[in-house]
Amino acid sequence: MNAGSVVDGDGNPDEMEVFDMVNTERAKAGVGPLAWCDGLYACAKAHSNDMCERGFFDHTNPEGEGPSERAQYGHAGRFTFAPIVPDPYSWGVAENIAYGYTTPAEVMNGWMNSSGHRANILNGSYTHIGVGQCDGCLRHWTQNFGTR
């Protein structure tokens, strides 16, 4: 782990490698590290699995739930109705998604070479992150960033 990484999560090794790579990129840019958030991880993991299982690729799921709704209430009817991020109304949430990358290095290279994704990764106002890779296909990725 990067010395600047703050971890208390239980992501798989690839998810944790992406987390570490994010903080490495932030350090290179002079931006402070992100802390791992289990709630944002749950959102990211669920969204990656949902995209794979239902065959869509979008920030908004077929029910019209975007990153903020998922962070506040989960996937109604499929996951949980209870807030999964502490104090959801005090959070700002952003999201990066990717498809087709099978390794942490590939997905990070893709995100860092996309101006919008790179901006989320290097945004100094975010304090927390969760990274989720699809359990089944291993090709859908989601990063959820939060500020509180």
Q: Domain boundaries in the chain?
A: 13-147
pLDDT at site 136 = 84
The tens place of each residue's pLDDT in the chain, 148 residues long, gives 443 444 555 789 999 999 999 999 999 999 999 999 888 898 899 999 999 999 999 999 999 988 888 777 653 334 343 455 555 545 678 999 999 999 999 999 999 999 999 999 999 999 999 999 998 887 999 999 988 7
pLDDT at site 91 = 60
- Left if phi > 0, otherwise alpha if psi is -120 to 50, otherwise beta: which for 122? alpha
In angstroms, rounded to a whole number, what is the distance separating the alpha carbons of residues 12 and 17? 9
Structure tokens at 112: 């860092």
- Give residue for tokens 């350090």: 27
Secondary structure, 3-state, 101-135 = CCCHHHHHHHHHCCHHHHHHHHCCCCCEEEEEECC
Reported pTM: 0.84
Q: 13-147 belongs to which CATH class?
A: alpha beta
- Helices and strands (H, E) in the chain, number of each type: 5, 4
* Length of the chain measured in residues: 148
Distances (CA, A) of 46 to 3, 80, 134: 28, 11, 8
Sign of CA dihedral 143, 34, 31, 92: positive
SS3 66: coil
